[in-house]
């Protein structure tokens, strides 16, 4: 399940979309993301902490971070380099 969640994050899916696609409760997906974060596979993106130009979600974001109330995760850079 963790591998599938990573795959969906790579595709730009959010927590709700992942939960729906995997037929899991939102809480279970959130727990899995915390496990992946603790293992260093994903990083929680702190919204509003950077400008749109430096944001790691620039390619998929509509540019409305100030209205977003959820949590966003991105794949950790060092793990991507190891997989190449």
CB-CB contact of 47 with 29 (8 Å) = no
44 three-state secondary structure: strand
pLDDT digits (tens, 9 = 90+) for 23-44: 999 999 999 999 998 988 888 7
pLDDT digits (tens, 9 = 90+) for 43-75: 876 655 556 666 666 677 766 554 444 566 777
Integer Cα distance of 59 and 10 in angstroms:
12
Max avg pLDDT among 3-7, 72-76, 78-82 = 3-7
CB-CB contact of 65 with 48 (8 Å) = yes
Distance of CA 82 to the CA centre of its chain: 19
How high is the pLDDT of residue 2?
A: 92
How high is the pLDDT of residue 66?
A: 46
How high is the pLDDT of residue 67?
A: 43
Q: Model-level pTM?
A: 0.60
């Amino acid at each position: 399940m963790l591998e599938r969640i990573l795959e969906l994050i790579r595709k730009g899916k959010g927590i709700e979309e992942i939960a729906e696609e995997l037929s899991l409760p939102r809480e279970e997906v959130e727990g899995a993301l915390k496990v992946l974060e603790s293992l260093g596979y994903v990083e929680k993106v702190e919204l509003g902490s950077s400008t749109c130009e430096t944001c790691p979600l620039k390619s998929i974001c509509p540019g409305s971070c100030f209205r977003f109330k959820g949590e966003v995760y991105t794949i950790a850079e060092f793990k991507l380099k190891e997989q190449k």
